[in-house]
């Protein structure tokens, strides 16, 4: 990479050797600008979500209180929590296996309302090792709550989760 950069600088020098010095500095500035723009675009399109385990949480909540907030005022809770990193502490009600993945559910048994966590690939093994009834802390990106006409209850979804140790 360093060699390539040196090569480009040399090429730029050679190309601008016989150019009027007045235009030369503008050409160099344009070249640097194009290089910076290219680097920015490359960075944007190759950027990946970082490991949720390493991201600082915006809120830490208890699962049942969290569900209650969504049941009380769905719009307000969505505004407060959606697209935020949340740590949810609670008890595993159910583990749903589908395909090669597993989702963890913390449910309010009285109303059927629940929080469901889908995990990042690197944290899937830790999620699969959890047991129903186990007290756990899960960190993830909250996708907000919706009312399910199928289940006739509130569902709050999380993506990119990690078992919080």
Partner 1 sequence: MKSTILSLALILATGLAFAQKKTTTSAIVSFDATTSLDQLPKAENKTVIAALDPKSGNIAFEVNIKNFAFSNPRIQEHFNNAGWMHSDKYPTAVFKGSIINLSSIKFTKDGTYPAEVNGDMTIHGVTQAVKTTGSITVKGKEITANAEFSIKLSDYAVDGSAVGAGKVSKEPKITVTAVF
The answer to the question of residue 93 lying near partner 1 (CB under 8 A) is no
Considering the complex, state which of residue 64 and residue 107 has its C-beta at the smaller distance from partner 1. 107
Half-sphere exposure of residue 159, counting CA atoms within 13 Å on the CB side?
A: 7
Chain positions 109 to 128 lying near partner 1, rule: CB under 8 A, are: 114, 116, 118
The answer to the question of residue 85 lying near partner 1 (CB under 8 A) is no
Among 99, 110, 131, 133, binds partner 1 (CB under 8 A): 99
Separation CA 103–CA 11 (nearest Å): 55
Mode of pairing for the β-strands spanning 135-148 and 85-91: antiparallel
The answer to the question of residue 48 lying near partner 1 (CB under 8 A) is yes
**Tokens in use for 165?**
């140790």
Phi, psi of 104 (to 5 degrees): -105, 140
The answer to the question of residue 49 lying near partner 1 (CB under 8 A) is yes
The answer to the question of residue 149 lying near partner 1 (CB under 8 A) is yes
Chain positions 18 to 37 lying near partner 1, rule: CB under 8 A, are: none
**Tokens in use for 120?**
């990042």
Separation CA 158–CA 53 (nearest Å): 14
Among 85, 139, 144, 164, binds partner 1 (CB under 8 A): 144
Mode of pairing for the β-strands spanning 85-91 and 59-62: parallel
Considering the complex, state which of residue 16 and residue 93 has its C-beta at the smaller distance from partner 1. 93
**65-83 b/e with 16+ CB inside 10 Å = b?**
ebbebbbeebeebbebbee
What does the binding site for partner 1 look like in residue numbers (CB under 8 A)? 44-45, 47-49, 82-83, 96-99, 101, 103, 105, 114, 116, 118, 143-144, 146, 148-151, 155, 157-160
């Amino acid at each position: 990479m360093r060699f390539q950069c040196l090569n480009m600088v040399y090429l730029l020098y050679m190309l601008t050797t016989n150019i009027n010095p007045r235009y030369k500095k503008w050409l160099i500035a344009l070249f640097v600008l194009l290089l910076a723009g290219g680097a920015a675009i490359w960075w944007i399109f190759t950027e990946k979500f970082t490991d949720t385990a390493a991201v600082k949480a915006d809120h830490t909540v208890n699962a049942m209180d969290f569900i209650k907030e969504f049941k009380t005022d769905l719009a307000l809770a969505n505004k407060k929590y959606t697209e935020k990193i949340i740590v949810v502490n609670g008890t595993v009600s159910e583990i749903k296996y589908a395909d090669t993945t597993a989702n963890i559910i913390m449910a309010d048994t009285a109303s059927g309302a629940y929080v469901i966590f889908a995990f990042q690939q690197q944290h899937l093994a830790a999620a699969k090792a959890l047991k129903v009834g186990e007290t756990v802390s899960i960190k993830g990106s909250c996708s907000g709550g919706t009312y399910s006409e199928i289940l006739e209850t509130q569902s709050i979804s999380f993506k990119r989760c990690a078992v919080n140790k």
